[in-house]
Amino acid sequence: MSSSESPAPHDLGAPDLHPYSVSRRSSAMLTALFVAIVLSAGISFISLPYVVLQPGPITNTLGQLDGKPIIQIKGATAYPAKGALDFTTVRVIGGPGVRVNAFDLVVAGLRDDQEVFKREEIYPEASTREEIQQENAAEMVDSQEVASAIALRETGHVVPERVIVSQVPDGSPAKGALEAGDEFVSVAGTPTTDAAAVQAAVRAQKAGSSVAIVVKRKGVEKALSVPTRDNKGATIIGVLLGRDYTLPVDVTIAAGGVGGPSAGTMFTLAVYDVLTPGDLTAGKRIAGTGTMEPDESVGPIGGIRQKLHGARDGGADYFLAPADNCSEVVGHIPDGLTVVKIGNFDDALGAVRAIAAGKADALPRCTK
């Protein structure tokens, strides 16, 4: 208690109150306590170069947001789905434009559901808050498109795919030849129907030479000679590849203000559930995380510990975790949450069906 909080003599009309009699030892202890309080208050205003990861809220992809279904289908029959397929989130304290103080770090160090990282481990150096938000928004859009394409293919629809140039960084050997938005037609005479084909055809070339690439630019085919270079023993042209799907069914996923790619697996399951008759979850509450890659593999994500706790706090009983995150899962599973290891979409779909059938005990778990 500081002196300003101590009751003054005769305060509030109390009769016959006298000043405290304090020994020299007690006075020293009170002085040390006062200094500690002042220092702690000062430290709380010092911005530190760390970020704290905390559990974020969960959202049922089979539910509604602002009164509208999160998954909306046009051009195909949509089936009502019960139960919950929750995507999980992480709340990040710190980073561009957000301050972290000593108290935040102390609290995080005392809790299993929070972690502290150096700022540069989470965010690129010199990045701004706006740049981070834009990148996260773009990743969310891409994850939704991949999820929709895979779910449609799994339900029997044909989904054509185009490989495009998404970015030509400064310093790239392809700078001046390829442009963002170019659609690959062939590389060195080999038709390119997917990103793997583009990469394989480029890597088959001698580094430092030029490779013949045909692209479609604004609807017109162009034959180009694109320089290559060596990158750790592999021949590259130095562009970022993207995928553009022609969806035969209009799928809209309304995720609110959440960004990033880690909800991809749960989006894919949800779209599949809405496109197929019956109740995939049998009313069970299943949460999960993981990117959904175009080859239908489930990719690892950050913040798995926070997502486990967020899922349990939100009422989920089961959690689908990427196999590549298992080392971070072991030892950090909240009481009452059953965690299932998945490596691809078939694993995820099989896990949901087993949980719905009451056979979760036979599913693979994270052991290391």
**Partners of 222 in the β-ladder:** 215
Of 2-16, 20-34, 254-268, least confident by mean pLDDT is: 2-16
> Among all chains, which residue has been given the structure tokens 């108290």?
103
- Give pLDDT tens digits for 261-274: 999 999 999 999 99
Q: Coil, helix or strand for 220?
A: strand
d(CA 164, CA 245): 10
By the 8 A CB rule, do 81 and 274 touch?
yes
**What's the pTM?**
0.77
Structure tokens at 126: 């010199």
CB 273 within 8 A of CB 81: yes
Cα-Cα-Cα-Cα dihedral sign, residues 12, 18, 19, 25 = negative
Q: Out of 6-15, 62-71, 122-131, 240-249, pick the least confident.
A: 6-15
pLDDT tens digits for 117-164? Answer: 888 888 777 677 787 888 888 889 889 999 999 999 999 999 988 899
Residues of the chain with pLDDT > 90: what percent?
A: 61
pLDDT beyond 60 at 27: no
Residue-wise pLDDT tens digits, 273-332: 999 999 999 999 999 999 999 899 999 999 999 999 999 999 999 999 999 999 999 999
Is residue 25 over pLDDT 80? no
Question: What is d(CA 218, CA 211) in angstroms, rounded to the nearest whole number?
Answer: 22
Q: Are 332 and 342 in contact (CB under 8 A)?
A: no
Distance CA 14, CA 10 (A): 5
308, 329 contact by CB (below 8 A): yes
Q: Residue 228: its pLDDT value, please?
A: 97
Please tell me the distance from the alpha carbon of residue 242 to that of residue 226, in angstroms, as a whole number: 18
Q: For residue 368, what pLDDT band results from cuts at 50, 70 and 90?
A: confident
Q: Which residues fall within 8 angstroms of residue 227, CB to CB, at 6 or more apart?
A: 173, 174, 177, 209, 210, 237
